[in-house]
Chain A
Amino acid sequence: MNEELIVAGFGGQGVLSMGMTLAYAGMVEDKYVAWIPSYGPEMRGGTANCTVIVSDTNVSSPIISSYDTAIVLNQPSLEKFEPKVKPGGILIYESNNVLNPPTRKDIDIYAIPAAIEAAKLGNKKTMNMIILGAFLAKRPLVSVKSIMEGLSKVLPERNHHLLPVNKKALKHGMELIK
């Protein structure tokens, strides 16, 4: 197993933390992982993205030109990364933030209205976990238990009371994509 994915959206949508949670979860399961963020001015309110690689073997390069999966949370990221999904790959997008949906026919495309669903759960910030849940339903790279262990590393301790609602969001995302 070697999954190369990109997570992209606006700063503040939980793009980097989603990727980091997945990377932690992979490491918990003794897989080889790499997480590489875009950093700098673009993080401060602009677009943000991170590449995550979860693999059974050593990761040769964290720098990659095409992806098995793209998770995009806004229109600019969709336009940037839709062409970079490998044929047969997966594109998951947050449908409340995308006006012009993707058009490719050679990849599996899933629209998840995660922003609205997160609001329904009572915590808008769990949007990224809903999306991550949807992704894991399609590509069960790691267990929910490992994700939660990863999330407990990514979330500062003062926010650990939010772990249960995040778990709920993750599971909700898994249901949504079915």
Chain B
Amino acid sequence: MGKKLLMKGNEALAEAAIRAGVKGYFGYPITPQSELLEYMATNLDSRGGVFVQAESEVAAINMVYGASGTGVRVMTSTSSPGFSLMQEGISYMACAELPCLLVNVVRGGPGLGTIQPSQGDYFQAVKGGGHGDYKLIVLAPNSVQEMADFVYLGFDLTDKYRNPVLILTDGALGQMMESVEFPEYNPEEHLVDHSSWTTVGRENGREQHYITSLHLLSEKMEEINIHLQDKYKTIQKNETRFESIMTEDADILIVAFGLSSRSSQKALELAREQGLKVGILRPITLFPFPSDELKRLANSVKGILVVEMNAGQMVEDVRLSVGSNIPVDFYGRMGGMIPQPDEIVQKIKDLSKQVKI
């Protein structure tokens, strides 16, 4: 590990991307993500990559598509309204199996909404977002350190599966400063040989490479869909990641990701001081979702509380995972508000009463 630096989440993510060997960054400014783009504008050209400020998010994602076709590491970053604009291009990339790293520093919606932090884009991130049957691999950091760490992981996963990877974070994690250490990482040791499909000019009379998401024959299109679904199953099997905090003896299980898992951790400390046995399951990958671990924990806890910065989105996946045998309660704040630890403690107490602890 290198030395400790104090950085904003947005800056740490950008620095990690440069260290991970990103060769192309294409984006359009939007709060609360702009420091990321600014960092790239200042640093990427002199450190071996290309920075382009596109004329819109639609243009940016299509530049990502084009650059990815050359097989180098490429990325874009934006915030909620901008991410909505990118959905068409992302669906194309998922179908064409193009690797790329996407970053959504989520702000409160719907609409132009607010520039304050939110997790209101969960559904959009894990259920497709654009048209057609596709999945992104979705990583949810909860600290500035993970904002950096998940960039390396994200690039490795997108190269491995030829599937777009999304880092789903929020305005607070983007804007806050914590100390961060960048790991030793030599991109050369991680790069995957993409030469079997990249469009970089034909040599030696090799077969033509053709990257497209348009397949007018239904038989062919179904074949591609089956292949994609198989790939998603493999990803589910191999790449599900989560963090368990004090779940062994827990009566109440909090399920929370990203920033709300940090508030929940404080709530856990406060509740444990009052003798309430609380644990946390934090999904790190939102797709693939840690359903099996949740199912396992549902056998030992008495109630589940899902905490999110939205009207209740991940809670649906929690309910799908654990069924109806156990009470699943929800606490959320919306529109840029953040669940406060003392509010979560109150919900824990309410749920404890309900399940007679």
Question: In angstroms, how far is the closest chain A Cβ from the Cβ of B69?
Answer: 36
Say if the beta carbon of B199 comes within 8 Å of chain A. Answer: no
Question: Looking at chain B, what size class is its interface with the partner chain?
Answer: 20 to 34
Given A20-B177, A64-B341, A65-B340, the answer on whether A36 and B172 have CB atoms closer than 8 Å is yes
- How far, in angstroms, from A20 to B259 measured CA to CA in the complex? 20
Say if the beta carbon of A78 comes within 8 Å of chain B. Answer: no
Cβ of B176: which chain A residues have Cβ within 8 Å of it?
Answer: 34-37, 62
Contact status B178-A59, CB under 8 Å: yes
Say if the beta carbon of A104 comes within 8 Å of chain B. Answer: no
Contact status B341-A61, CB under 8 Å: yes
User: Interface digits, A26-44 against B, CB 8 Å rule (1 contact, 0 not)?
Assistant: 0100101111110111000
The residue among A33, A36, A41, A66 with the most chain B CB atoms within 10 A of its own CB is: A36
Cβ of A61: which chain B residues have Cβ within 8 Å of it?
Answer: 262-266, 341
Partner of B6, one of A24, A36, A37: A24
Contact status A33-B6, CB under 8 Å: yes
- How far, in angstroms, from A37 to B171 measured CA to CA in the complex? 11
The residue among A20, A40, A153 with the most chain B CB atoms within 10 A of its own CB is: A40
Contact status B31-A153, CB under 8 Å: no
User: Interface digits, A41-78 against B, CB 8 Å rule (1 contact, 0 not)?
Assistant: 10000000000000000011111111000000000000
Say if the beta carbon of A23 comes within 8 Å of chain B. Answer: yes
The residue among B6, B341, B342 with the most chain A CB atoms within 10 A of its own CB is: B6
Contact status B171-A62, CB under 8 Å: no
Say if the beta carbon of B338 comes within 8 Å of chain A. Answer: yes
Chain A minimum-CB-distance residue to B177: A35
Chain A minimum-CB-distance residue to B9: A36
Cβ of B114: which chain A residues have Cβ within 8 Å of it?
Answer: 40
Contact status B340-A63, CB under 8 Å: yes
Question: In angstroms, how far is the closest chain A Cβ from the Cβ of B97?
Answer: 37
- How far, in angstroms, from A41 to B114 measured CA to CA in the complex? 10
Say if the beta carbon of B175 comes within 8 Å of chain A. Answer: yes
Contact status B172-A64, CB under 8 Å: no
Chain A minimum-CB-distance residue to B5: A27
Cβ of A32: which chain B residues have Cβ within 8 Å of it?
Answer: 179
- How far, in angstroms, from A62 to B145 measured CA to CA in the complex? 14
The residue among B171, B176, B343 with the most chain A CB atoms within 10 A of its own CB is: B176
User: Interface digits, B178-190 against A, CB 8 Å rule (1 contact, 0 not)?
Assistant: 1100000000000
User: Interface digits, B248-283 against A, CB 8 Å rule (1 contact, 0 not)?
Assistant: 000000000001001111101100000000000000
B-side residues, CB < 8 A to A, are 4, 6, 31-32, 114-116, 171-172, 175-179, 259, 262-266, 268-269, 338-343
- 22 pairs, A vs B, C-beta closer than 8 Å: A20-B177, A23-B6, A27-B4, A34-B176, A35-B6, A36-B176, A36-B177, A37-B175, A37-B176, A39-B115, A39-B175, A40-B32, A60-B262, A60-B265, A60-B269, A61-B263, A61-B264, A61-B265, A62-B178, A63-B262, A63-B341, A65-B341
Minimum-distance CB pairs A-B, first 10: A61-B266, A36-B176, A60-B265, A35-B177, A61-B262, A65-B340, A40-B115, A65-B342, A60-B266, A63-B263
| Known interface pairs A33-B179, A35-B177; 7 further A-B residue pairs with C-beta atoms within 8 A, sorted by A's residue number | A23-B6, A24-B6, A34-B176, A34-B177, A35-B6, A37-B175, A40-B115
